[in-house]
Structure 1
Amino acid sequence: MSSLARNLFRTLGGAALLAAPTVALAAGDLGGQAEQQPTNWTAIIMFAVFVIGTLFITKWAAARTKSAADFYTAGGGITGFQNGLAIAGDYMSAASFLGISAAVMASGFDGLIYSIGFLVGWPVITFLMAERLRNLGKFTFADVAAFRFAQTPVRIFAASGTLVVVAFYLIAQMVGAGQLIKLLFGLEYWIAVVIVGALMMIYVLFGGMTATTWVQIIKACLLLGGASFMAFMVMWNYGFSPERLFASAVDVKAGIASAGGAAPEQARQSGLSIMAPGNFITDPISAISFGMALMFGTAGLPHILMRFFTVPSAKEARKSVMWATGWIGYFYLLTFIIGFGAITFVLTDPSFLDPRGGLIGGSNMAAVHLAHAVGGNIFLGFISAVAFATILAVVAGLTLSGASAVSHDIYSTILKDGKADSASELRVSRITTVALGILAVALGIAFEKQNIAFMVSLAFAIAASANFPVLFLSILWKDTTTWGAVIGGFLGLISSVVLTVLSPSVWEATLGYAKGSAPFPYTSPALFSMTIGFVGIWLFSVLDRSRRAQIDRDGFLAQQVRSETGIGAAKASSH
């Protein structure tokens, strides 16, 4: 099949690609607007099977969701293995499956920074966070951050950080969903986004964490199975030789450059460039900043941190991370194969290209087209349904974390001083769910043309700059104070959001300003905003001489004993 792909490129691709040299997508061009296509009935049937099945799960879960603890954490009754699969399902988002494969297809080797960056954050969670989170918290990461601090200011910050991260993360999922459904169902993009928003609200409103967990587990199994088959078929066609796959990808990229008018030597260098860094991240500062965002942002994602409160003990929390790391690591290896497979199977077939030479449905659809190339229409329907399941599961988890930030951290703890009854807290959570659903739909429509992996990287940068420094220092540094955590955390949050808006990815790509006009020149703000966050927490904690600061410092020993032994955790986690 590899020789067939090359021959197909030589015989058919030359003429088609001469008219459409723009198929060689630059990293900055990732995103593409989805073209409306004829309805794919195979995909629709598989979509329907999945949606009906998950609605039954939601109905079953709704009967078991009686209290706030059931709604937020499934009553703490999820096992380590189940939670590990659910975390993997939550983490292997549309950005992972659709966005990374698209980034690898466009930039080659540089796309690996996503796979590795997303993965290497897990040791931080494994060794520093998981057990302590489970022992200190009840429902949200704010429970941990506020353990020894003044409740009101810390929870206001934590809720703010959660909602901003959730908003950016939701954008990526909604964009992926809209493009996917538009491609396969022949619907308008905005209608597709509204459908996803409505289904997500149903899952969270009625099923809570129990329904969300089982949707994530089912989706993780389907996604791992589908991605494994895709990668197997790609490697099988190349005799399970990575060298032959990479050589074929280099030939295809060189052929595209040649068809675009490049001289022979330039075309060959263009082909070889996909095996070297520099296509996406072009300077050391951006590389370091981008890597820091992906690595440390993992430990600040509220919907991931929330999952550690669904297990009955710290031991199960550690087991969760072990299983999650294994599944996620395996999956990210597959995305690299899928990305290179998309170069050799998808870019060589004119039937996957629109008249302008871009991928039909936009570059985010690279993995979906590859599924069609290696498995035909039935496998295309399966992968499309899996991608849709991926988006629904992640969006449900995100919405749940956002709703809990408002209802538990702001309404119950701050406004009601911890005296809110379970029914009223649930009511506020459901109202917030509807509001977040409407916001997600609006943002998904506004950011239609953005690459979804990159949008998620911005959410990671904000999580790394705001949530992670506060969590890290509140747990491990005894001199952290309430005002140090709040002021430093807000500095990290505000600086990361402002620099993100001023970066080329938003200033130029989304807001439409001229190329090269972005006030902040780097692709990710994490190196700067994360430093601002840590320095802010340290500085304002050292300068804090208030009576409250002494109480904060005196409470460190009790927090340390609780976080490392779990004494008192079981009682506190019940509700």
Structure 2
Amino acid sequence: MNATLLLFLVIVGLTLIVTYFASRATKSASDFYVGGRSITAGQNGLAIAGDYLSAASFLGIAGLIALSGFDGFMYSVGFFVAYLVVLFVVAEPLRNVGKYTIADVLDYRLKNPRVRTFSALSTFTITTFYMIAQVVGAGALISLLSGGVVPPTFSIPLVGVMMIVYVVFGGMLATTWVQIIKAVLLMLASLIMSLMVLGHFDWSLSGLLGEVADRYGNASLNAGLKYTNPIDLISLGLALVLGTAGLPHILVRFYTVPTAQAARMSIVWAMVIIGAFYVLTMIMGNGAAVLVGREPIVAANAAGNMAAPLLAQTLGGELFLAFVSAVAFATILAVVAGLTITASTAVAHDIYNSVLRGGQASEVEQVRVARLATIVIGVLAIVLGILAKDQNVAFLVALAFAVAASANLPVILYALFWRRFNTGGAIAGIVGGIAVSLILIALSPNIMGVDPPEKTAARHLIQAPPIFPLENPGIVSIPAGFLCAYLGTVLTARRREEEEAFDEMHVRAYTGLGAE
């Protein structure tokens, strides 16, 4: 426990030092929102990987693979493939057209402040879902390390307070460097753990998988152990593959680099790092299933979030557990900082400056409002994290992907590629996508279910049979988002200035002419 505490303090101290130096360089709104566009492609690629490889990846996916085999690995595949959509479809045009947020792109195309308001609402909803997953992972981790002495109700607020400190004082620059440090540490820990697992099976991956099949049956190596309904698996895949291109905290990273070329290269660097990591999750998850066992994993955390730390303890004892847990904690801190600054930027830049102040707020005012928003968002994340402390973090992130793919992606694609698209379509797409996603999530087996009286952990919030049968709403909510945006466009009046703006935006999106 002393080693764990020491490593925690070292990593926290390192990130606080970074925050201190970043705070000295954070003077303007551009510095706070996007690090003054001073981040290189390689640095940004590492930061994107650090932002993307969240608690859901390290804790949640390893746990899902350990407990559900192949079905759990589908999360890894979906998360990785999703970056192809980002690279080939949205990275360059968003960097050229926007300034700080997704709303900048929509406003440039449609020139209507109402679009900014609804886009900020979407950003807030998606980042909240994603943030809950991170603080839940932190609560489970610290509770495990303390032997249950420190419950999630105390550890979750600790993460929230640190998240507020990083963003309030250091802005995007501090957040970026915290994410870079975390990405390097996470890859190092995952590589060491995977090599140690393979060493137990004579460096044979087939030997590891064969042991999984011998112990748990061939079902663990085939689809259907968790998702008995193939439609559920397809729905999950759609949400993961399409959702990344609508995640605000990932897309905002395109604005931290100086050029669109750097934005593209950032994605290439990120894909290399992310792809390597997700291969390692397969080794770690199956290694945990064999070397730790599914029953101890479930006993430590019903959702499986402690598979990776327990594997570290089995492989290297308390010291290695301390190192891996400290890395997982750094992972959570980095991601929640990225989410928080994205949400606070939406509040300060899109709502306060652009809508309420008509673009006339000073940079000092904008930064002050962003910092106040950070505090409010941090408190909200703490409260919601405590309420959702028994949920699997990968599942929670998958829901955020579903909302992003249903609400943000349709309006982004229509704005970039459809001349007829208008304000009515943008608002209908965002509101419809969010509403359908949230309603289906509320009616799904994740929220509704009849639990036996003796079950005390991870009980369903609504004790009734689920109305919507799928765990992830993507297969219904994503087409619904596109349909709402389409109907909102064709059923409202055409505006010549919106269609004329399409030509101007098209030139800027693909040539960079006039981009900031």
Asked if TM exceeds 0.5, the reply is yes
The whole-number CA distance in structure 1 between the counterparts of 2:302 and 2:110 is 49
The whole-number CA distance in structure 1 between the counterparts of 2:462 and 2:119 is 33
Q: What's the counterpart of residue 481 of structure 2?
A: 533
1:566 equivalent in alignment to 2:507: no
User: What is the CA distance between 1:242 and its match in structure 2?
Assistant: 1.6
Q: What's the counterpart of residue 274 of structure 1?
A: 220
User: What is the CA distance between 1:538 and its match in structure 2?
Assistant: 1.5
Q: What's the counterpart of residue 240 of structure 2?
A: 294
User: What is the CA distance between 1:127 and its match in structure 2?
Assistant: 0.7
Residue number among 44, 64, 67 corresponding to 2:25 in the alignment: 64
User: What is the CA distance between 1:315 and its match in structure 2?
Assistant: 0.7
The whole-number CA distance in structure 1 between the counterparts of 2:123 and 2:448 is 23
Report matched runs for 1:339-378 at 5 Å: 339-347=285-293, 352=296, 358-359=299-300, 363-378=304-319
Report matched runs for 1:97-176 at 5 Å: 97-176=58-137
Report matched runs for 1:516-555 at 5 Å: 517-546=465-494, 549-555=495-501
State the SS of the aligned residue for 1:358.
helix
State the SS of the aligned residue for 1:363.
coil
Equivalent residue letter for 2:368? R
Q: What's the counterpart of residue 370 of structure 2?
A: 429
2:424·2:489 contact (CA, 8 Å) conserved in 1? yes
Report matched runs for 1:82-97 at 5 Å: 82-97=43-58
Per-residue CA deviation, residues 475-504 of structure 1 (Å, 9 max, x unaligned), is: 111111111111122111111111111111
User: When the two structures are aligned, how many residues end up with a matched partner?
Assistant: 506
User: What is the CA distance between 1:216 and its match in structure 2?
Assistant: 0.2
Residue number among 426, 430, 448 corresponding to 1:485 in the alignment: 426
Q: What's the counterpart of residue 398 of structure 1?
A: 339
Per-residue CA deviation, residues 534-560 of structure 1 (Å, 9 max, x unaligned), is: 1111122123224xx221111111000
- Change over 3 Å in CA distance of 1:112–1:422 after alignment to 2: same
1:447·1:510 contact (CA, 8 Å) conserved in 2? no
- Name structure 2 gaps, 5 residues minimum: 450-457
Q: What's the counterpart of residue 383 of structure 2?
A: 442
State the SS of the aligned residue for 2:69.
helix
Per-residue CA deviation, residues 327-376 of structure 1 (Å, 9 max, x unaligned), is: 0011001001100000111118x9x56xxx72368621000011111122
1:179·1:361 contact (CA, 8 Å) conserved in 2? no
The whole-number CA distance in structure 2 between the counterparts of 1:184 and 1:242 is 30
Q: What's the counterpart of residue 513 of structure 1?
A: 462
The whole-number CA distance in structure 2 between the counterparts of 1:341 and 1:243 is 12
User: What is the CA distance between 1:148 and its match in structure 2?
Assistant: 1.6
Structure 2 length normalisation: TM-score?
0.96
Equivalent residue letter for 1:153? R
- Name structure 1 gaps, 5 residues minimum: 1-39, 254-270, 571-575
Equivalent residue letter for 1:519? I
Equivalent residue letter for 2:390? K
User: What is the CA distance between 1:395 and its match in structure 2?
Assistant: 0.2
Report matched runs for 1:310-325 at 5 Å: 310-325=256-271
- Change over 3 Å in CA distance of 1:212–1:273 after alignment to 2: same
Q: What's the counterpart of residue 380 of structure 1?
A: 321
Equivalent residue letter for 1:531? P
Structure 1 length normalisation: TM-score?
0.86
**Which protein is bigger by CA-based radius of gyration?**
1
Residue number among 186, 189, 200 corresponding to 1:223 in the alignment: 186
1:503·1:519 contact (CA, 8 Å) conserved in 2? yes
State the SS of the aligned residue for 1:278.
coil
User: What is the CA distance between 1:96 and its match in structure 2?
Assistant: 0.3
Residue number among 192, 195, 200 corresponding to 2:163 in the alignment: 200
Per-residue CA deviation, residues 371-395 of structure 1 (Å, 9 max, x unaligned), is: 1111222211110000000000000
State the SS of the aligned residue for 1:506.
coil
The whole-number CA distance in structure 2 between the counterparts of 1:470 and 1:337 is 38
Report matched runs for 1:498-509 at 5 Å: 498-508=439-449
User: What is the CA distance between 1:511 and its match in structure 2?
Assistant: 4.4
State the SS of the aligned residue for 1:121.
helix
- Change over 3 Å in CA distance of 1:127–1:459 after alignment to 2: same
The whole-number CA distance in structure 2 between the counterparts of 1:388 and 1:540 is 43
